[in-house]
Each structure stands twice: as structure tokens, then as C-alpha cells.
Amino acid sequence: MISFLDLKAINAQYQKELVEASKRVIESGWYILGTEVETFENSFASYCDSKHAIGVASGLDALILIFRAYKELGILAENDEVIVPANTYIASILAISENNLTPILVEPDLNSYNIDPKKIEEKITAKTKAILAVHLYGQSANMTAINQIAKKYNLKVIEDAAQAHGATHFGKKVGSLGDACGFSFYPGKNLGALGDGGAITTDDKNLATTIMALRNYGSHKKYENRYRGLNSRLDEMQAAILSVKLKYLDESNKKRGHVAKTYLKEIKNPKITLPKIMPNNQHVWHLFVVRTKEREALQKHLFKNGIQSMIHYPIPPHKQVAYKMFESLNLPITESIHDEVLSLPMHECLSDKDVATIIEVINDF
Ligand SMILES: *Cc1c(COP(=O)(O)O)cnc(C)c1O
């Protein structure tokens, strides 16, 4: 079976260094908020061309804490509206509603699968205070257009780069394209820990220090609490692991790029729509997502030939039980995407031989 993702093979490449890093943490006797987290935060901030990076417990928490910090700073208030793409992973929307802010779902552009900037302005009201731009599948949203709109209406721009570590837009790294950005280090992401983890990047010092307090019970100083905070910290062990893997992130994204390039060049089947790289973007191929009217048949055909595939995502957020109030929204592009997308195997350890097999099987469909 050609697996969709092979985390074991991915991490085996770095086994020696990962073991050394773990040993260093075990022997240090210090496991929460120490030098490993600080070292990783510094290198990750610099990787993202950002002034600050704050390690937290997950990607969802990273986004939750950005909104929460803006509330504590008086920049956002309960019931403010936040524009978000309708076809994102549910976590983007959870982060908004968790803060009692109102998600305003906007349709994506069918070429990029990212929010369609042309559809943002019609959704802006007096209550709109922010845009949460998601870089879905590994490609930056159109941040040039989004930032222009944000400037015109004085909105905060928050990035969700959980799927796009290392991607660029006009040569600028995601994580530095808005006011603040949330990253996830869930094991299957382009930069994955061996457990949960996340980070926020920002150039805003005020925001960074507020988030640093919020992730640690709301405390700037031990036993003094300014906010009613959370316990949401990246731990020393995951930070040490991530420091190893960050060194290889560009190389690993390059290998994904090689797989994607081969798929794009050699998959030739009129029933299948291939993903597109939008101008001035560097895609990091978190997922290689094709579209077809015959998804079920294609998935079966792949499986029969020993190839695993997945759907990202089968149910759009507005059709989830958790968001019943959005059930009747008219979002035909989002719905057609959820009906037609299929993700092909994509990871840095996929062999040329397996890629060739996958292409052959798809062209045969
Ligand atoms: C994975 C993901 C998240 C959440 O990250 P976790 O670390 O799993 O909490 C948020 N947004 C998007 C787009 C994601 O893909």
C-alpha cells in the first residue's frame, strides 16, 4: 500500500538528532518554559522574518490566543465580526467563536482554494474588525489584496499558517504577511512535532507580551496575574524536537515540491482538475488536492490499486452540527469543493517509483 502520509519514515530520517535532543531535555531536569522553548522561538521567529514567536500548546490555541490578546488589549470586543474563508479547517472558525466573536464565512476562489478577496468587501459591516486569512493546503492566500482591504477598513489581519510553514507571497514568508499569525506543529503538518504544539508570530511587541502572559495563566510575573489566562505552553521536549526539524524544513518542502511538480507535469486525465500555483506564490504542498466530479470512483480506483487518498474536508464548517446556525448559508463554491476534492499521497519520503505508480493509476482512471 502506498500510504497517504508516512510519519514514521519522515521522523526516522532525523532519528539520531531527535534522540539526542530528547536526551538533552530529560537530563536537563527542566521541562516547561525553559531554554529549549526560547531557542526554538528565536529560530522560528527568524525563519518567519518576524520579530516575535511565542510557543503554545497547539495550532488552535495559537489562533485562540491571538483573538483573546486583541480582546485584552481593547482592539477586539465580543460580538465583533471576523471574516474567514468558508472552506477552511474547522479550527480557524473555532478560534473565532471561542472568543465570542462572530465568524463571517466568505467563499473561496476556485483556483487557489483560498478566500476570494473580491467577495470580502460585500461582507464588511460596522462590526467587522478583522480578517482571518487561511493559507490552505500550503499556499498563501492573496495577502496583497487582503491587506489592501484591511487598510481601507482599518481591520486587523490574522494569518492561519497551520498548513503553510515556509510558503511565501512575493518572496515574503507567511507568518510575516499580516498583524499576527498562528502556526500548528501537529505531527502531520509540514513542520511537525512528536505531539501537539503551535506558535504565534508577530512584529507587535504589545501583542507578543500579552500572549506570553495569556499562555501562562495570564501571568507576566510568577504568582501575579493580570489576565484570566490559560495553560497553553509548548513544552521543552517538543521545542527541542522542533529545533531539529526546523533545520530541515526547507529541504523537506523542496522534496514535496518535487513530488508536486511531477504530479502536475504527468497527470493527464480530463476528469481531473489539478491544483494551481497562483502568481508570486511559493507553494509548500502540505496537501496535493485534485478535484473531480467522480470522487468516490477515483478514491475506490486508487484504493484498489494500493494507493491511499484522503478528503480535506468531507463536511464544510457551515454543515457541521457544531455550527447549526450557519446551516442555511448559501455557499455553493465551498460546497462543491467539499463534494469534489481528493488529496493524493504527499510527503517528503514518497519515492519517485511510488509517484510514478500513482500517476499511472490516475491516468488510467
Ligand atoms: C491543523 C490546523 C489547525 C489547528 O492546529 P492544531 O495544532 O491541530 O490545533 C488550524 N488551522 C488549520 C488550517 C489547520 O490545518
Report the atom number in ligand 1 closest to the C-alpha of 196.
7
Q: How far is the CA of 185 from the centre of ligand 1 (A)?
A: 8
Distance CA 247, CA 255 (A): 14
Q: What is the pLDDT of residue 304?
A: 98
* Mean pLDDT within 17-27: 98
pTM to 2 decimals?
Answer: 0.98
* Mean pLDDT within 265-294: 98
The helix/strand/coil state of 103 is: strand
Q: What is the pLDDT of residue 45?
A: 98
Q: How far is the CA of 232 from the centre of ligand 1 (A)?
A: 15
Q: How far is the CA of 187 from the centre of ligand 1 (A)?
A: 11
CA diameter of the chain: 65
Question: What are the tens digits of pLDDT across the range 224-255?
Answer: 999 999 999 999 999 999 999 999 999 999 99
**H helices present in the chain, as ranges:** 7-12, 15-28, 35-47, 59-72, 90-98, 143-153, 205-214, 236-247, 249-266, 295-304, 332-340, 352-363
